[in-house]
Structure 1
């Protein structure tokens, strides 16, 4: 997992270094409205550094966004930004590797394990790599395995289940089946009810089913693509509404 985090950070830095990002990284990021590539790079570089600070800090919650972050601003030139990104990712991976994976540190609303942060930062980096690649015209997630994409979907839904499963936004009256066609372990059943949402890993008939490659499902689940090009059985509006409400940060 730690090696994968570095690989995804490197792919992100490669996209940021592309000429299409602009000399000043001013290219827009369509999947993160109102952000440029520089904004996206700044966000990810700061998140990596904030997690290191959180691990070292001893508090029950993650270091807040408005905290002062050493080396927290990206450099001026495009190539230097890529170097800055990789320095932050490397420091994070070194810190994660050095720790007992079950040690508890600050999380979003209370203590989480070091292992939680390793997985969370892997997939944070993976999804923002997708944002950057779409922004500069790269083929998105070209070398990402179905297994990694499936874990990205699972981690996304783990977060939703832990923090937002009873939110008004995810309540409803529908069921959605997701099926990754390129791996045997890529199926989910989402049941929306008046009380909230439950998500299980199973093959069950639902009101609507969405099938496609794992990386394409990951992009849809995280709000980075539409249903176009995916197989949909049933009313597409049911799946579109689910992806819209569940992709909110």
Structure 2
């Protein structure tokens, strides 16, 4: 199902890229991605899909670098052709996943990972950038996304933070706690503890300095820095939550 879901999210992304609001030259700004345009965003996602495909098929020890040469790595000029280019890359990635050996490991960000890591990472990479594209062109964001998928998107975001940034100075704190609670899906609760040595994130229901509640898609947008805290219900100290989302949404 992961491959089918990835293609669904890539198709929704391509629909946003093809929207009239995107303009013939894909010059619409993407407010959630700095100074990027829709073309920049589309190029990024299409190249990520191709870099992961090449990483797996070539047996690279780490994910291919951003500037690596990959087959079909430059999008065409036409808006409609860019959408086709995006879907071609997503389809090639899904086919690569389907044909890969699940008993071996592949190059990851800093070392080897299993195939399931890349399947999940690319699904949520596509989902969050779909959100970026829809916000840029005025679509209702993530309108057809199941709450359970958004919950896994939040979980995957925090899994990455735990694996790669849990001890970074930026996310450390002095004992602050944040409780995140999805209201429209089960198993959608997290407790974030910010200590002087790093951050610890667990899946539990515990009273905290601040509780942040909302629909899964809304909380996914807040957690990933795509929406302000006002998109959720806040109980307790808003400044504690606001600071956490500001530092944890950074790449």
Is TM (by shorter chain) over 0.5?
yes
Q: Does 1:196 align with 2:198?
A: yes
**Separation (CA, whole Å) in 2 of partners of 1:78 and 1:166:** 42
Q: Does 1:121 align with 2:122?
A: yes
Aligned to 2:18: 17
Do the aligned residues in 1 keep the contact of 2:57 with 2:96 (CA within 8 Å)? no
- Equivalenced residue count is 249
Aligned to 1:85: 86
| Cα drift, residue 238 of structure 1 | 0.7
Aligned to 1:210: 212
| Cα drift, residue 229 of structure 1 | 3.2
Aligned to 2:108: 107
| Cα drift, residue 92 of structure 1 | 0.1
**Separation (CA, whole Å) in 2 of partners of 1:186 and 1:232:** 16
Aligned to 2:59: 58
Q: Does 1:176 align with 2:190?
A: no
The runs of at least 4 consecutive aligned structure 1 residues that moved more than 3 Å come to none
Aligned to 1:48: 49
Aligned to 1:233: 235
Aligned to 2:70: 69
CA RMSD of the aligned region, Å? 0.7
| Cα drift, residue 103 of structure 1 | 2.1
**Separation (CA, whole Å) in 1 of partners of 2:218 and 2:191:** 17
Could you list the runs of 5+ residues in structure 2 that have no partner in the other structure?
A: none
Could you list the runs of 5+ residues in structure 1 that have no partner in the other structure?
A: none
**Separation (CA, whole Å) in 1 of partners of 2:93 and 2:202:** 31
| Cα drift, residue 81 of structure 1 | 0.3
Do the aligned residues in 1 keep the contact of 2:178 with 2:211 (CA within 8 Å)? yes
Do the aligned residues in 1 keep the contact of 2:182 with 2:216 (CA within 8 Å)? yes
| Cα drift, residue 237 of structure 1 | 1.0
**Separation (CA, whole Å) in 1 of partners of 2:202 and 2:231:** 25
Question: What is the DSSP-based 3-state SS (H/G/I as helix, E as strand, rest coil) of the residue aligned with 2:26?
Answer: coil
| Cα drift, residue 66 of structure 1 | 1.3
**Separation (CA, whole Å) in 2 of partners of 1:69 and 1:92:** 13
Deviations 1:125-183 (A, max 9, x none): 00000000000000000000010000000000000000000000000020000000001
Do the aligned residues in 2 keep the contact of 1:180 with 1:213 (CA within 8 Å)? yes
| Cα drift, residue 86 of structure 1 | 0.1
Deviations 1:110-135 (A, max 9, x none): 00111110000000000000000000
> Which TM-score applies when normalising by structure 2?
0.98
**Separation (CA, whole Å) in 2 of partners of 1:71 and 1:57:** 16
**Separation (CA, whole Å) in 2 of partners of 1:244 and 1:103:** 37
Do the aligned residues in 2 keep the contact of 1:102 with 1:115 (CA within 8 Å)? no
